[in-house]
């Protein structure tokens, strides 16, 4: 089974999301999946429109989201993740395609974010497992 993945990667905290992108691509290859498109978006909140674009393509079987939402001095991080995650789930159901949630946060420090870069592998694995099982 040839599995074609699309990645949506947040540019915010790009030093971390770049590492996530590289790890995700490497893990996809290890699992026998091809990453056919990567769309960079400004931040996690901006992901849904790019996910929708990828989900509407016939040559993409699943979408992997990658992002880091680091805690600030307000509740902004919680609002971003709550609303983005809900819409991401909605898009998965709307298009009947796996859309994995590889976004770390909210409520984490920059140090914790560095420790969670490998969440990218989990997100890729989730998309691939779901594709195989559906």
CATH number, domain with residue 71 = 3.40.50.960
The answer to whether the beta carbons of residues 11 and 43 sit under 8 Å apart is: yes
For 58-76, letters b (16+ CB in 10 Å) and e give eebbbbbbbbbbbbeeeee
Going residue by residue through the chain, which has 134 residues, state the pLDDT in tens, using 9 for 90 and above: 689 999 999 999 999 999 999 999 999 999 999 999 999 999 999 999 999 999 999 999 999 999 999 998 888 899 999 999 999 999 999 999 999 999 999 999 999 999 999 999 999 999 999 999 99
- The encoded tokens of residue 27 equal 């893990």
**Residues with catalytic function:** 76
Please state the residue numbers annotated as binding site for 5-amino-6-(D-ribitylamino)uracil.
12, 44-46, 68-70, 101
Query: What is the pTM (predicted TM-score) of this model?
Result: 0.96
Please state the residue numbers annotated as binding site.
12, 44-46, 68-70, 73-74, 101, 110
Residue 116 Cα distances to 10, 57, 128, angstroms:
15, 30, 20
> How many separate domains does the chain show?
1
Q: Which domain holds residue 16?
A: 3-133
């Amino acid at each position: 089974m040839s599995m074609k993945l699309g990645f949506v990667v947040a540019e915010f905290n790009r030093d971390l999301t770049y590492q996530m992108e590289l790890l995700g691509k490497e893990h996809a290859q290890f699992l026998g999946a091809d990453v056919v498109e990567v769309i960079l978006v400004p931040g996690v909140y901006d992901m849904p429109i790019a996910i929708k674009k990828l989900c509407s393509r016939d040559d993409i079987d699943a979408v992997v989201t990658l992002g880091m939402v680091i805690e600030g001095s307000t509740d902004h991080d919680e609002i971003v993740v709550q609303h983005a995650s809900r819409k991401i789930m909605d898009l998965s159901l709307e298009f009947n395609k796996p859309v994995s949630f590889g976004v770390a946060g909210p409520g984490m420090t920059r140090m914790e974010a560095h420790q969670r870069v490998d969440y990218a592998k989990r997100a890729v694995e989730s998309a691939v497992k779901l594709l195989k099982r559906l």
